[in-house]
Structure 1
Amino acid sequence: MDQQLHVFVTVAEMENFSRAAEELHMTQPAVSQYIQSFERTMGTKLLERSNKFVRLNKAGEIVYHHAKEILGLYTKMHYLIDDLTNKTSGPLSIGASYTFGEYVLPHVLAKMHKKYPLIIPTITIGNTREIANLVLGHQLDVGIVEGEFKDKHLVIEPFAEDPMYLVASPKHRFAQKNGEISLSELEEETWIVRENGSGTREATEKMFRLCEMIPKHTLEFGSTQLIKESVEAGIGISLLSYWAIRKECSMGALKIINVNQLPILRKFSVVLRSPFQTKALTVFLELLRENKQAP
C-alpha cells in the first residue's frame, strides 16, 4: 500500500504520468497499473485524465491530503526503528518561521553539521501558521514558530526570548530627534508590517494595543528582508526582531528608535506532533536549547 500511495502522490504532484514515471524511475505503464489498482482499492476514480493533464478530482483531493500524512508517518516510523541500531544520521525535516529560519537557524545548522555530518536537514520557511500546519500534517519533524502560538494537538515548548525593536532609516526624523516620540507622531508615520499569520505581525499588533494607537498608514509585505530594505530606503518604520536587524544596526544601515513600551519580548517555540524522536531530532533540539540567548 505504501508504494501505491507514493506513486499516487507523485502523479498528483507532477500532473503527468510520463513525468511521474521518470521521477519514480518506472515505466509509464507500470505507473498506470499502480494508479488503476489503487483506484480499485479505494472504490472510485481519483484522477481526471486528458491528453494534456492529470488532475485530482474531489475524492482525489481527500486521498492526497491523507496520503501525505500517511507517508510522512511511515517515513518517521522507519527512521525511528533505524535509529535504534545506528549512529545519528539520516534526514531531518525542519520548518521555521521567517525570522528564526532566516537569521538564527543557519548558525544552529552549521554547528549540527560540524558535530553530526551524517544528518541531512531539509528546511521549509513559512509564517508561524503555515509551519504549525505542516507539523500537524506530519510533513515536518519539527517546527520553530514565533509568538503566543497555541494548539491542543501540538507539543509547544518555548525555548528562547526574542526582543522586538522599532527601527527606522538613520535619515528618518525619528532617528534625528532628541527626546521621547509622542503617540501622535507614531500614528502619523507609515508602518510596514508583515502578513496575517506571521509572528512578527502578531507582535506589531500587540504593540499597537499597548500604545493604544491605530496607525493611519500601513503597508503589508510578506518578507522581513523586503521590510528591512524598505525601512532603510526611508519608506516607513517597522517593528522587527533583534535577530533580523542586528547586522544592519551594527553597520549603521538601520537605527533603533527608543519608545517607552519597547522592546516587546516574544518567544521562539519548538513545535512537535509526535512524542517519539529520532536521534537526529534529539540532537537538533539540544543544539537549539544551547543557542537560546541573544548576545
Structure 2
Amino acid sequence: MNRLYRTFVVSVESGTLVRAAAALHVTQPTVTRQLQQLEAEFHQPLFERTGGRLVLTRSGEVVYRTAKRLLALDDKLREELNSLANPEAGTVYIGAGVTPAIHLLPGAFAMYRNLHPGVTFHLRTGSSSDVDAMLSAREIDIGIVTTVNPERADLVAKPLYKDDLLLVAPPSHALSTRSAITVSDLQGYPIIVMQAGSGLRRLVEDLLESRGVQLLPALEVDSLEAINRLVQFGFGISFLPRSCVRDDLDAGRLAVIRLMDEPPASRTITMVYRAQGSLPANAERFAEELPRLF
C-alpha cells in the first residue's frame, strides 16, 4: 500500500500524470494503473479528471491527508532502522550503577565519542537489580553492574574493571597515622556502611566476621558518594571502591588505612547484555571497544 500511497501523493502534488510519472521515474500508464488500484481498494473515486489536471474529490482529500502522515511515519521508521544498522550513528542505551556512572563511564563515553562522533548515549542509573530489570524489559542495550544475576543464563557477562575496596578515613583520624593495622584493630571504631542487602555491605560484614570483629554501624546509607562525604566530615571510617575515592585521595581529603592481615577485597565492574537477539550495530561496536576504554 505504501507504494500506492506514494504514487497518489506525488500525483496530487505534481498536478498531472505526466509530471507524476517523471517524478517517480515510471511510465504514465504505470501511474494511472496504480491510482486505479488505490480507488478500487477504497471503492471510491479519488480524482475528478478535468482538463488534464487532477482535482481531488472529498474522499481524495481525506486519503491525501492520511497518506502524507503514513508516508512520513514510514520514512521515519526507515531512518531509525537504518541507524540501527549503522555502527557510527544513533543512540546507545546504557544502564549502570551510580558509581560506574559517575566515576568510570564519563571518561569512556568521551573517548568513544572522539572516535565515533555520530554516536550518542542515553544513560540510566540504578542498582544491579534495577539494571537487570531494564535489560529484561529491553529498555537498555547494555548494563554495567557490580553484581551479575546468577539466574540470568540468557546474559553475556564480560568483566571490565577490578575495583579494589579501600578502608578510608579522614587524614586526621587516629588510624590514618599508623603504617598498618589488623582487622581486629577496627573493633570499637564506628563504620559507615551501605544499607543491608547490598553486595558491598555483605563484603564488609564477611571481612569483619572472619576476624571476630563486631560491626558498629555509625550510619547506614544507600549512596557511596554520601558515605564518601560523611567519612570526610569525620562521622566514621568506611570501605569504599577505589574508583569512588581516587580523586579525594589524590586531593588529600581522604587517607587509606592499610590492613596488614587481609588481602584487598574488590568488586568487579561487569558489562552485561542479552545473548539472544542481536544488539543494534552501534551498541555492538561500543560493547566491543568498552573493555579497552576501561
Partner of 1:71: none
**CA 1:207/1:149 → structure 2, altered by over 3 Å: closer, same or farther?**
farther
- 1:129-168 to 2 correspondences below 5 Å: 129-147=129-147, 149-152=149-152, 153-168=154-169
| Corresponding letter in the other structure for 2:207 | M
Q: Is the aligned partner of 1:170 residue 2:171?
A: yes
**CA 1:148/1:136 → structure 2, altered by over 3 Å: closer, same or farther?**
closer
| Corresponding letter in the other structure for 2:286 | F
**CA 1:85/1:145 → structure 2, altered by over 3 Å: closer, same or farther?**
closer
Alignment check: 8 A CA contact 1:147 1:203 kept: no
Shift of 1:287: 2.9
Alignment check: 8 A CA contact 1:147 1:202 kept: no
**CA 1:205/1:139 → structure 2, altered by over 3 Å: closer, same or farther?**
farther
| Corresponding letter in the other structure for 1:278 | P
**CA 1:277/1:242 → structure 2, altered by over 3 Å: closer, same or farther?**
same
Shift of 1:132: 1.4
For 2:285 and 2:209, how far apart are their aligned partners in 1? 39
TM-score by length of 2: 0.66
Alignment check: 8 A CA contact 2:193 2:217 kept: no
Partner of 2:293: 291
Residue 111 of structure 2 aligns to a residue whose secondary structure is helix
For 1:209 and 1:158, how far apart are their aligned partners in 2? 28
Shift of 1:93: 1.1
**CA 1:89/1:190 → structure 2, altered by over 3 Å: closer, same or farther?**
same
Alignment check: 8 A CA contact 1:95 1:126 kept: yes
Partner of 1:60: none
For 1:206 and 1:82, how far apart are their aligned partners in 2? 50
Partner of 1:126: 126
| Corresponding letter in the other structure for 2:215 | P
Partner of 1:277: 279
Shift of 1:174: 0.7
Partner of 1:74: none
- 1:125-274 to 2 correspondences below 5 Å: 125-147=125-147, 149-152=149-152, 153-183=154-184, 185-196=185-196, 198-259=198-259, 260-274=261-275
Q: Which has the larger radius of gyration?
A: 2
For 1:254 and 1:133, how far apart are their aligned partners in 2? 35
| Corresponding letter in the other structure for 1:271 | V
Alignment check: 8 A CA contact 1:192 1:238 kept: yes
**CA 1:98/1:85 → structure 2, altered by over 3 Å: closer, same or farther?**
closer
Structural RMSD (CA):
2.5
1:56-87 deviations in whole A, cap 9, x for unaligned? xxxxxxxxxxxxxxxxxxxxx98995357545
For 2:180 and 2:91, how far apart are their aligned partners in 1? 53
**CA 1:277/1:210 → structure 2, altered by over 3 Å: closer, same or farther?**
farther
For 1:82 and 1:283, how far apart are their aligned partners in 2? 15
Q: Unaligned 5+ residue runs, structure 1?
A: 1-76
For 2:247 and 2:107, how far apart are their aligned partners in 1? 14
Q: How many residues align?
A: 215
**CA 1:131/1:288 → structure 2, altered by over 3 Å: closer, same or farther?**
same
| Corresponding letter in the other structure for 1:288 | L
Q: Which moved more, 1:216-225 or 1:234-243?
A: 216-225
Partner of 1:52: none
Q: Unaligned 5+ residue runs, structure 2?
A: 1-76
